[in-house]
Amino acid sequence: MKRYRAVMKIVETGGFTRASEELGYTQSAVSQMVQSLEEELGTVLFIRSKKGVVLTPDGAELLPYIKNIYHAYRELTEKRKEMEGIQNATIRIGTFASVSCHWLPGLIKTFKEKYPLVSFELYQGDYTAVEQLVKEGSVDFGLINPQAVGDPELKTIPLKKDPMMAVLPLSHPLARHKKILLEELASEPFILLEEGSLSEPMESFREHGIKPNIQYIVHDDYTIMAMIEKGLGVGILSELILNRADYHNLVRETEPPLARTIGVVFKDKKILPVASRQFLEYLTEEYGELGPRA
C-alpha cells in the first residue's frame, strides 16, 4: 500500500521531493515505489518537467482506481482495529475553514478525553471538495451545509444553525444602522466568499430578487475581513468565524436575517469505522439541534 499512498501524495503535493518529505521517506525510495508500480501496471504514471510533476493520460485514468484500492485497504485496516477496540483508530474528517478553526477543535478535545489514543486527520476544502472527499472515500464523513450536497446517494444530518452577519468597514455610512438591509448591501462593492456548490448569501439575494454588486470573489474568510478593514467593500460572513476574528470591522445583523446550516455528510453509518461512527454519534447526540435528514 505504500506505493499507492506515494502516488496519491505526489499528486497532492505536486512533486516527488515534497511527497517524500511528508511521507518520511527519501526521494529515491519514493521514486522506486512509483517505478515498481509503473512496472506492475505496464505504463508511466508521471511526467517530470520544469513546471513540476503531472500525471500522464494513463496516470490520470488510473488514479481513481489507485485511490479506491488504498482507501479500501485503509477501511480493512480500520475494521481490524475495530475488532481490537476504538482506542488506536484514526478518524478522517472533511471540513471547511470556519468549522475546523472555531468549532471542531472543542469537539475533538472532548472526544479525546474519553478516547485519548484516537487520532484525527482533517482535510479542508469548500462544500464541493468536502462532498467529493466523502464520495471517493478519502474521509469517513464531512462537515458541510447539507443543502450543498448534490449526490442523492449520500446521507446528511443537520446539526446546528450558524447566523450569517453583514461585515462593513468601521467608517461605513451604514454603520449607524442596527440591521442592514440586503438591498443596501447589494448596492455596495460586495466581496463574495467562494464556497463551491452553494453560497448562502447568493441564495438569499436570488430569493429576494436582488443582484449584488460583486467586485471580488475570494476563497478565504480572513482575506475578506482584511479587505473590508481596508475599505474595499462589504461582505456577509458566518458568526462562527467572526466571533474569533481580530479585525477592526463592523458586524451587523441582516434584514431579513440569514443563517447557514452546519451538518454532516456520509455514505452509510453502518459501514463507517467504529471510531468514526462513535464520533458521528457523539456529534449528533451532543450538538445536534435540528434532527436527522435522510
User: Which string of DSSP letters, residue by residue, matches 3-37?
Assistant: HHHHHHHHHHHTSHHHHHHHHTS-HHHHHHHHHHH
Q: How confident is the model at residue 5 (pLDDT cuts 50, 70, 90)?
A: confident
With a cut of 90, say whether residue 154 has pLDDT above it: yes
- State the total domains in the chain: 2
Whether residue 238 is contained in a domain is answered as yes
Whether residue 279 is contained in a domain is answered as no
CB neighbours of 103 closer than 8 A, spacing ≥ 6? 240, 262
- Give me the pLDDT at residue 101, please: 85
Q: 242 lies in which domain range? A: 161-260
Of 58, 78, 98, the position where a domain reaches its end is 78
Whether residue 277 is contained in a domain is answered as no
Of 78, 94, 129, the position where a domain reaches its end is 78
- How far the first Cα of the chain sits from its last, in Å, is 34
Q: What is the pLDDT of residues 246-265, one digit of tens each?
A: 899 999 999 999 999 999 99
Q: What is the pLDDT of residues 65-98, one digit of tens each?
A: 998 888 888 878 777 666 556 667 889 999 988 8
CA distance 220 to 231: 17
How many helices and strands in the chain, by DSSP H and E? 12, 12
Return the CATH number at 31: 1.10.10.10
Of 78, 113, 131, the position where a domain reaches its end is 78
CB neighbours of 237 closer than 8 A, spacing ≥ 6? 164, 165, 167, 193, 221, 224, 225
Return the CATH number at 239: 3.40.190.290
Residue pointed to by grid coordinates 478535545: 109
Cα angle for residues 262, 266, 270 (degrees, 5° grid): 130
Contact 216, 206 (CB under 8 A): no
Whether residue 51 is contained in a domain is answered as yes
Q: How many CB atoms lie within 10 A of CB 248?
A: 10
The whole-chain average pLDDT of the chain stands at: 88
Whether residue 45 is contained in a domain is answered as yes
CA distance 266 to 272: 9
Strand partners, 158: 263
Whether residue 119 is contained in a domain is answered as no
Q: What is the pLDDT of residues 16-69, one digit of tens each?
A: 888 888 888 888 888 899 899 989 999 999 888 777 788 999 989 999 999 888
C-alpha cell, 236: 456577509
Whether residue 276 is contained in a domain is answered as no
- Give me the pLDDT at residue 293, please: 46
Whether residue 28 is contained in a domain is answered as yes
Q: How many CB atoms lie within 10 A of CB 86?
A: 19
Q: What is the pLDDT of residues 179-207, one digit of tens each?
A: 999 999 999 999 999 888 889 999 999 99
Select from 145, 170, 150, 172 the least CA-distant residue to 160: 145
